[in-house]
Every structure is written in C-alpha cells, then in structure tokens.
Structure 1
Amino acid sequence: MNTDVARSHRGTIFLEDGAEVIEHSAHAADQWVLKLRAPECAARAQPGQFVHLQCDPRLPMRRPLSIQRVDPAAGWVEFLYKVVGDGTEALARQPVGMRLSVLGPIGNPFTLNPERPLRLLLGGGVGIPPMIFLADHLRRQGQGAQTRAILGSEVPFPFRPRPSEILWPGLPDGAIATMPLLEDWGVACRLTSLADIPGAYPGFVTDLARPWLAGLSAELRDQVELYACGPHAMLAACAALAAEFDLPCQVSLEEYMACAVGGCAGCTVEVHTPQGGAMKRVCVDGPVFAASTVFPPV
C-alpha cells in the first residue's frame, strides 16, 4: 500500500454507530430509498462519495452505498439501493427508528472544473444517486441552469416521471419524461429506458446525449464535461462518447468491497497512467476516476 495515500485518508472517515432510520420507502423492482440521521457524514459528504453501511446488527459485513442526498443542517443522509443479496435484503427489513452503524463518507469526490461550466450528468440504475447528489450540489451553488442530466433504467424508476417543462434544444422529439425532483430544482433532465416508459427515450443514456453534443457549437462544446455512474458497460460507453467529442469525463466506479477503507485491496482496478498500468483501489483511490484512465481510447 502507498503509505502517503493511506495517510491522506486519516481523519476523513467517521464511524457513527447510532445512525437512526428516519425514512425507509419501497419502490418498484425491489428498490428502496433510505434516509438516516447521520450528522457527521452529512456535514462532510461530497458528491461522488459513499458510505459503508451496516445492513443488520447480526450481519458482520457492511455494504457500500452511494450517497444520493444530504442535508447538513438537518443532519440526514439519503440513499437509493436495490435488493440484490442477503445484505440488502436484510437492510430492506430495517424499520424507522432502527439504529445502524455508518462508516463514511469514503472516497474521492467529483472535481468541478470552472473552465467546463456546462455539465452533463449520466446515471444508470443504482448509479443515479451520485448524479442527484451532484445536481443538488451544483444548484446550491447557483449552477443548476447550466447542468443537464440524463438518467436511464431498465426497470421502473423509483419515482413517478412527468413531462418536463424545461426546454432542452437538440434532443429527439418525444424525449420529454423527467425526474420531478431535478425539474423542481431547475435542472434539465431527461429519462431513457428500454422498458417502454411513457416519455422516456427508447435507448441508452449515451444514445440521447450524442445528438445534443453533436448539435452544440464548438464554443459551447468546449465548456462541457461529462460525469457518469452506472454499470460497467454504460461507463465504457460514456468514456467512448467523451472521446468521440474530445471531452473530459469523470466516472464513479461500482465494485464489490470488503473493508472499503483501503486495507484489503479487494476492489482494485487497473488504471492507465503515462508510466503504464497501475492497480488502484476503488474505495479510497476512487470511486471517481478520469474515464480515459479506466477506459482508454482504442
């Protein structure tokens, strides 16, 4: 382990053993939205970071969950997760009032480049939460009107889509479905799905992003940066899209984790550097990486 990197994370991760479940709601396709009172995490969390959460006091292994929203003043942190195994199945049974152990916030967040103020957020499935957190962060900084989000899902979304009232020139006709929360924040958003959701574009997030990027003037395109989180294949497609238009792109990776604090090295991925390939830990060296280093152009 690189000791300098290890030391850089000391004092940045907090353990809150008594985080209280204050809201826990079920949605279609075994998706759940969980809100915890965790003031230490809420005060420090940044878009792109995650927590390592105890799913049940009887289960020794934690599960990594991306942060969807925070309210530092009220001291709560919100997550969207999907039941995929024993851990998340146990988590789904936790009632309001239950207290769980939270380790976080963990990892390197997204970086905002002031020279690229036109930001396109691409989220797929359980990769949607970091995009919501980033959109919230940007609108709180007064940059919501310059932010665009395209969210995709192959199952029903964990919210009720509605037709957008925010114009987004350059998109195909009929792509009008939006996430109400982002719409209310003034962030232009569109939805994509192959699940025949009314108003959603029938394709992938990159399929909808491409015509918009292609229609921008060279001056505007020079102001764009992409941010993405989702399945591996989607992130590879986002990296390829960024390379196609010569744009910077940051991706938040999803990997299985045991310790989530850099000790076990079980979440390593190969990252390409000028000196050659290097193995990096997604938990503390990421989860956010430059897309071109994880998915180098062919």
Structure 2
Amino acid sequence: MSNKPHRDTIFVEEAEILTHEAYQGDQFILRLLAPQCAAQAKPGSFAHIQCAPLKPLRRPISIMRVSVDLGWVDFLYKAVGKGTRLLSQRKLGETISIMGPIGKPFELHAERPRPLLIGGGVGMPPVLFVAESLSENPDYKPFVILGSEVPFPFKPIPSKILIPGIPDGIIASMPLLDDWEIPSRLATLQGFAGCYEGYVTDLARQWLNALDDESLHQVEIFSCGPHPMLETVASLAAEYNLPCQISLEEFMACGVGGCAGCVVEVETKSGLAMKRVCVDGPVFDAKQVFPS
C-alpha cells in the first residue's frame, strides 16, 4: 500500500468558470465546475489554481464550499499580486486549470461537539466549509466568528440567533450561516455596523467566559487567517486549555510536496521538524506551530 494516500485523490481538471463575483477590498468569489475536486474535497483542503494561460506558476487557494451533486467548487480570494490580479480578470465560460483537492483537512472529534470556528480575511473559507459540513449534524453546536478589516464579501444581516455572552448590539452575521441555523458574529476595527469593535479573539474570549465548565470542556477551536491572528488564537486556546487546529497560509510552488518550498518549523514528539504546509498541512495542531 502507498504511504502517500494523497496521490490518488488529487486531480487536474480544466474547470469552467460558472460565476465570478467581485466585492469591495479586491475580494472575489470564484465558482468553478470541477466535479472531481468537489467529490474529494474536505474542510481545510485547497486547490492549486493556474491564474492565466501564460502564468504557469499556480496559486494555492482554500476551498470555501462544494456541491458534490452539481460538481462546483467555490473559492474566496483577494487580488494582491500579479497572479491573483490576472485571475480576477477571468470571465464566465472560460476554463481554468486547477489541481486539487490538496492537503490535510480539519478533523472533528465527537467528544468536542462545540466547535469554535474563527476565520480572518481570506482565511474565512476553511471555517465556512467546516460550518457547512456540520449544518445538518445535530450532534454539533458550532459558533462562527469572522473578522475582516475590509468590507465583508457578503452583506451582513442582523442575526436571528441569540448567543449568550455576546454584548448587546453585536448582531451582524453572515446570511448563509443564519440560513444554516449556525450562530455567527463579525468582528472588525473599522466600525462596521453591528460588528464587534475589536479582534476576533477578544470576542471569542467573551463567548468562552459565558460557558459553564461542562460546555467549555466540549469546545475545540478551528481557525484560519493571517499568521499573527493564528498565533493569538493559539494563545487563547492554551489559556483555556482547549484543543486547537489551525490552517496555515503559505507561498507554494509545486503544491504537492515535491519542492519543499512551503516548509514550516513545528514541534513534534521527536523535537523540532520541518513540515510541508501543502501535504503535511495546511491544518496543524496549534501547539505544534506555536509551542508555549
């Protein structure tokens, strides 16, 4: 048996652009028809996308949603460099070469049925994927916190779901999550209406402090976002003695473990080791990446 199980679950597809929506802050949501990727994708996995025909070096972009039945895959990305700016110019009906799904996904644990999902910026997609995977599972009671310093890539709405521990007036939520009956709140330093004025971890702390001991012991944190945010999330998890999984964002060349261009230093049972974000991750135990 192969000791590289990912080899048989990564596909290269010429994916048709079904929708390509622009949002403030140079943010885009791209929906591609990629049935093989959709069928194998799990929360936390990503795809390596060729941004333009004459731009051979691909870009890793996290998977936000999939429809196995209809074969589409959604990506949220921000146009920040030459490659993603070229990608933002691609039109409906064009095809894009994608390779995926890639990477070690998040792992849920039945003994921790209260997942706290924290996403920042373009780190929102993996936690949204986790949330949707739980939307029809009554055994889990997730709570989602999303943060952004540019307008969110959706129109926030006042949530219909009350959440103990959340300050009065903090009612802005993601419409899709409300539709799934999953409680969510938004955090920012930009003064957006209905949002918590502060960091995602500050809002998370208020929620955690409102839990009784039994509920607190049912929490596991799942997070993706900028490196400083993840470091603070890891510290928060350590403060409350909670397990925490984080999805790292890193520059990549090959995306399948061959070039070792995306390695990070992690703590293992045998000491410090260099791990590849693309195939050893992108999801890691927070304690491995940010040992206390």
The aligned residue for residue 254 of structure 1 is 249
The aligned residue for residue 9 of structure 1 is 6
Query: Could you tell me the TM-score, scaled by structure 1's length?
Result: 0.96
The aligned residue for residue 133 of structure 1 is 129
1:6 CA drift (Å): 6.4
Query: What is the DSSP-based 3-state SS (H/G/I as helix, E as strand, rest coil) of the residue aligned with 1:173?
Result: coil
Provide the C-alpha distance between the structure 1 equivalents of 2:252 and 2:3, rounded to a whole number of angstroms: 17
- Alignment deviations for residues 219-248 of structure 1 (CA, whole Å, 9 cap, x no partner): 111100000000000000000000000000
- Alignment deviations for residues 45-104 of structure 1 (CA, whole Å, 9 cap, x no partner): 000000000111111111000000000000000000000001000000100000011100
1:113 CA drift (Å): 0.5
The aligned residue for residue 51 of structure 1 is 47
The aligned residue for residue 295 of structure 1 is 290
The aligned residue for residue 277 of structure 1 is 272
> Does structure 1 residue 164 correspond to structure 2 residue 159?
yes
The aligned residue for residue 113 of structure 1 is 109
The aligned residue for residue 204 of structure 1 is 199
Q: CA RMSD in A?
A: 1.2
When residues 24 and 152 of structure 1 are mapped into structure 2, their CA distance, relative to the original with a 3 A threshold, is same
Query: What is the DSSP-based 3-state SS (H/G/I as helix, E as strand, rest coil) of the residue aligned with 1:35?
Result: strand
When residues 21 and 253 of structure 1 are mapped into structure 2, their CA distance, relative to the original with a 3 A threshold, is same
Query: What is the DSSP-based 3-state SS (H/G/I as helix, E as strand, rest coil) of the residue aligned with 1:149?
Result: strand
> Is the 8 Å Cα contact of residues 106 and 284 (structure 1) preserved in structure 2?
yes
1:5 CA drift (Å): 8.8
- Alignment deviations for residues 133-154 of structure 1 (CA, whole Å, 9 cap, x no partner): 110001133456x110000000
Query: What is the DSSP-based 3-state SS (H/G/I as helix, E as strand, rest coil) of the residue aligned with 2:8?
Result: coil
Select which of 150, 165, 177 maps to 2:145: 150
**What aligned pairs does 1:181-220 form with structure 2 within 5 A after superposition?**
181-220=176-215
Amino acid of the structure 2 residue aligned with 1:8: P
Between the two proteins, what is the percent identity of the paired residues? 58
More divergent stretch after superposition (69-78 vs 133-142)? 133-142
| Structure 2: gaps (5+ residues) | none
> Does structure 1 residue 25 correspond to structure 2 residue 45?
no
When residues 5 and 214 of structure 1 are mapped into structure 2, their CA distance, relative to the original with a 3 A threshold, is farther
Amino acid of the structure 2 residue aligned with 1:41: C
> Is the 8 Å Cα contact of residues 6 and 262 (structure 1) preserved in structure 2?
no
Query: Could you tell me the TM-score, scaled by structure 2's length?
Result: 0.98
Provide the C-alpha distance between the structure 2 equivalents of 1:5 and 1:155, rounded to a whole number of angstroms: 44
Q: What is the total number of aligned residue pairs between the two structures? A: 292
| Structure 1: gaps (5+ residues) | none
The aligned residue for residue 262 of structure 2 is 267
The aligned residue for residue 226 of structure 1 is 221
Query: What is the DSSP-based 3-state SS (H/G/I as helix, E as strand, rest coil) of the residue aligned with 2:196?
Result: coil
